[in-house]
Amino acid sequence: GQNIDQPTEMTATEGAIVQINCTYQTSGFNGLFWYQQHAGEAPTFLSYNVLDGLEEKGRFSSFLSRSKGYSYLLLKELQMKDSASYLCAVRDRGYALNFGKGTSLLVTP
């Protein structure tokens, strides 16, 4: 079975750093994805991790520890436009993604 957990909601201040955690228990592992989804829009691809370690891409970084079944998305220098849902998704044996319920991030002034 699949079990992917993320916090439901988070709040952070503009200009700050926020870390969104994701833990997973899946029957197989073939990569972990992070997506951003603004209300009423489709998910936008942010990052992909398949090996342990940190992947940095501008203000966003994603970390993976396969042995711990753990990932986080780190957002630096938060902007108001970063207010959105952030979805953690694991690709197990096949090619399709299994999604967590998403973390709703609110960035305040």
Partner 1 sequence: SAVISQKPSRDICQRGTSLTIQCQVDSQVTMMFWYRQQPGQSLTLIATANQGSEATYESGFVIDKFPISRPNLTFSTLTVSNMSPEDSSIYLCSVQPGEETQYFGPGTRLLVL
Residues that bind partner 1 (CB under 8 A): 31, 33, 35, 41-45, 48, 50, 87, 89, 94-102
CB of 44 to partner 1, least distance (A): 8
- C-beta of 16 vs 54, nearer to partner 1: 54
Using CB atoms within 10 Å of the CB of residue 76, give its burial: 0 to 12 exposed, 13 to 18 middle, 19+ buried. Answer: middle
Q: Which of 87/107 has CB closer to partner 1?
A: 87
Distances 11 to 39, 71, 79, 85 between C-alpha atoms, Å: 16, 19, 12, 12
Q: Which is nearer to partner 1, 94 or 109 (CB)?
A: 94
Give the nearest distance from C-beta 32 to partner 1 in angstroms.
11
CB 66 to partner 1: min, Å: 16
Quote the least distance from Cβ 13 to partner 1, whole Å.
26
CB closer to partner 1 out of 51 and 81? 51
